[in-house]
Structures are given as structure tokens and as C-alpha cells.
Chains A and B, each alone.
Chain A
Amino acid sequence: MKFSPSMMEKAVFPSVIDSTILLSTACPTKFVYQFCMGLSPIEKSIHLHAGGAFAHGVEAVRKNFYLNKMPLDLALIDGWRQFINYWGEQEAPEGSYKDFYNVSAALFDYFHNYNPNTDYIQPYIKSDGTPAVEFTFAIPLPINHPDTNEPLIYAGRSDMIGVCKTMGDLGCVVDEKTSYSFPAEWAKLFSMRGQFIGYTWAAQQFGLPVSMCVVRGVAIQQRSIKHLEAIMQFPQWQIDRWYQEMLMKVEYIVDYWKKKEFPLNYGDICSSYGGCPQLDLCTSPNPEAWLPSFAIRRWNPLDKQEAST
């Protein structure tokens, strides 16, 4: 697909790449709409907002407890204040369980289930003596930006770098995921998730002894909050293979950008995650006419307040 010159004027190739952007390489047209033009649904997804608020609350409690050495009760009290500030005035759509009240309850229940005083995963202590209660990275790639010619950056944020006390202090990336439920074989969903292999690769680039990832799932339901862990050990060959594939995908979208011609997926990506938000653009002979029905939100992987996907 070729975009009109007026459409391409609104598009900027991102300087910072992450696992979310790489997912869109399955549909280069979606990559342009979403990540070069920033076209997003006007209403922010409650799933993203709730997940972001939950992660923000968990991070605040961890920082209070591990960095500021607060007792757990005070760490939680201040954590909820920060959670409220993040959540702001947003209201969940009718029928959504991921409202302010249930996600607040999930935050407290999380620390009931994984009490930092006794949790078998404790933060990794960095060389400067501080606990790695958040891990943000931005690593230059050996591929240059198609317009600026500066190195592209691979970036991301994971919730914690930890050590497993029950596994001989084995290093791990820790990340929380909120959902409505745990489908059968939930843990298997993450065994090939580039996001987590990418976090593991990034931690290794900083010299951290990490080859494992622990995803802590929190299912927010009307009757209860449920917790489940997925533990993935990534052998070095798998991490190395991910890195090579990641570079291939980045080169792939750079090449399409240079050619200014972008294929469409015509497959599952059009219907996954509740349907592609940009679908109307692809089914219209005049996509430009649909632009006013979108908000412009530029995705920045390093921004703590998430944009829309």
C-alpha cells in the first residue's frame, strides 16, 4: 500500500523501538498508522490504563519498601496515594471489572500474596548498592534511522530485576500482567514472548546475571483476585536467536520505509486483541477521511504514562 503525500507528511519513523512496535511488523501498514502517525482510538483503553496504574502502584510500594526502607503498612499507604494520582479521573466503561475499586483491591492483594518481607524473589542489588526495583533500558542498535542516520534505539521497562532466593539467587526479570482470567496453559503464552526475551537480553547488556523471567499474573474478577506465576528460563541460544530476529524485523520496517510502500497483513492481526483499531482506514478507499476519528498519541517506550496500542 502506498500512502498519499499528505498522509506521509504526518508520519515520522520512530527513533526508539520496543517489543510492541516490533509486533506491528506483521503489518507494516499498521506500523505506519500506529507508530509513525500515532493514530490511536480517541478513548484510551481501560486495559492499558488499569495495567499502567497497577504497575505504577506496585513500583511505588516497592520503592517505598526497598529503597526508602518504609515498613510495609506505610509503603502501601503511600503506594495507594500514588496509585490514585496515576488513575486520575478515568472511569471504567460499564461492565468492566477493571475499575478503580477492583484494581485498587488487586494492588493490596498482590502484596498480600507476594509479601516483600517474605517473597522468594528479592530485588537484585546493583553495584551502587541500590535495589533494582525498576529496570529501564535504551540500547543503540547496529541499524541506523532511515531519515536521521542516527543509530536506532531498542528500549523498554521491566518492573524489577530480582534474584530467586529458592534457586540459589538466580537472577530474573520480573514483570506483572493484569487480566480478567487465566486461560488454560496461561503460562505457555509467555514462553516465546519477545518482550520478555528482550528484557532478559537487555539486562545481560548491562552485565546483569539474568537468564530467567518471572511473569506474575493478576486476574481481576468481580468475586476474587487470582494470582499465577509463569517462570521461563531462556537459554543463551534462544536469547541470541531473538536478537538476530529482532534486527531482521527492524531492517524489514526500515526497508519498507525507504521504499515508501507498505504491505497489509490480511490475516489474524486485523482481528486480534479485540480488532485492529485502524481497521476502518484499511477498508476505506479514502483513509484520510477517517483521520478525524482518531487521537494522535505518539508511542514512547520509555514514557511511564503509556500511550495507546
Chain B
Amino acid sequence: MNLPPLFDDITDLELTMMSQDSAVLVAQINNLREKQLHGGGLSDDEVREGIRLLNDLRVLRAGKASTYESRTPLEKLF
């Protein structure tokens, strides 16, 4: 699997789990995108859900939550 070097320090099993989790999150976010673009738009609650998913994806992509300061932008802004 061709992955960027930032994932060097984790095991193959963790890597597989992260890739799967990441793909699920991306699919969920894309469903919301699709609804905004072609399905009549998103409600406020759906946008909030989308932002939560985005944040989970960011944390996952960072490899370790601490490297992204465990930050939840929405929670800190609202």
C-alpha cells in the first residue's frame, strides 16, 4: 500500500483499521455533500453532523489525536 511517510510509526493492523475508518467517514461526508449539491440542501443539524465527521477524519488522518491537538473546531467555536 502506497502511504505517505507520516504513517511510518504504526502497525499494519492499525493502518488497515484506519484506512477502513477513513473510507467510512469519507463516504458519510460525501453523502452529505451530495445532499447539499443535488438533494435539496442540508439542515443545520446535518451540517453539524458533517463538521463532526470532518473533525473525526482530520484526527484519523493525523495518525494520533494528540498531533492535531485533539481539537474539535466546531466545539471550540460554538
List A residues at the B interface (Cβ < 8 Å): 72-74, 76-77, 80-81, 84-85, 87-89, 95, 100-102, 104-105, 108-109, 111-112, 115, 222-224
The answer to whether B58 and A102 touch across the interface, beta carbons within 8 angstroms, is yes
Determine if B15 is an interface residue (Cβ-Cβ < 8 Å).
Answer: no
Q: Which residues of B23-46 have CB atoms within 8 Å of chain A's CB atoms?
A: 26, 29, 33, 36-37, 41-42, 44
The answer to whether A223 and B73 touch across the interface, beta carbons within 8 angstroms, is no
State in angstroms the CA–CA spacing of A178 and B62 once bound together.
19
Q: Which residues of A contact B26 (CB under 8 A)?
A: 101
The answer to whether A105 and B73 touch across the interface, beta carbons within 8 angstroms, is yes
Q: Which residues of A contact B73 (CB under 8 A)?
A: 105, 108-109, 111-112
Determine if B18 is an interface residue (Cβ-Cβ < 8 Å).
Answer: no
Query: Do A105 and B54 form a contact, CB below 8 Å, given A73-B77, A74-B44?
Result: yes
State in angstroms the CA–CA spacing of A74 and B45 once bound together.
11
Question: Closest approach, in angstroms, between the C-beta of A93 and any C-beta of chain B?
Answer: 14
Q: Which residues of A contact B63 (CB under 8 A)?
A: 223
The answer to whether B36 and A105 touch across the interface, beta carbons within 8 angstroms, is no
Residue among B6, B29, B33 with the highest chain A CB neighbour number at 10 A:
B33
The answer to whether A223 and B37 touch across the interface, beta carbons within 8 angstroms, is no
Not counting A77-B48, A108-B54, a sample of 17 additional A-B residue pairs whose C-beta atoms are within 8 angstroms of each other reads A73-B77, A74-B44, A80-B47, A81-B41, A81-B42, A84-B33, A84-B37, A85-B37, A100-B29, A101-B26, A102-B58, A105-B57, A105-B73, A108-B73, A112-B77, A223-B6, A223-B62
The answer to whether A80 and B62 touch across the interface, beta carbons within 8 angstroms, is no
Please classify how large the interface on chain B is, using the bins under 10, 10 to 19, 20 to 34, 35 or more. 20 to 34
The 5 residue pairs across chains A and B that have the minimum distance between CB atoms = A108-B73, A73-B78, A84-B36, A77-B47, A223-B62
State in angstroms the CA–CA spacing of A72 and B50 once bound together.
17
The answer to whether A72 and B33 touch across the interface, beta carbons within 8 angstroms, is no
State in angstroms the CA–CA spacing of A115 and B36 once bound together.
26
Contact with A along B43-78 (1 / 0, CB 8 A): 010011011001101100111000111010110111
Q: Which residues of B contact A87 (CB under 8 A)?
A: 33
Q: Which residues of A contact B33 (CB under 8 A)?
A: 84, 87, 100
Chain B minimum-CB-distance residue to A72: B77
Chain B minimum-CB-distance residue to A73: B78
State in angstroms the CA–CA spacing of A222 and B67 once bound together.
10
State in angstroms the CA–CA spacing of A150 and B29 once bound together.
50
Query: Do A108 and B74 form a contact, CB below 8 Å, given A77-B48, A222-B4, A222-B6?
Result: yes
The answer to whether B50 and A80 touch across the interface, beta carbons within 8 angstroms, is yes
The answer to whether B37 and A105 touch across the interface, beta carbons within 8 angstroms, is no
State in angstroms the CA–CA spacing of A112 and B73 once bound together.
6
State in angstroms the CA–CA spacing of A108 and B52 once bound together.
11
Q: Which residues of B contact A84 (CB under 8 A)?
A: 33, 36-37, 42
Q: Which residues of B contact A72 (CB under 8 A)?
A: 77-78
Chain B minimum-CB-distance residue to A88: B37
Partner pick for A105 among B6, B41, B58, B69, CB 8 A cutoff: B58
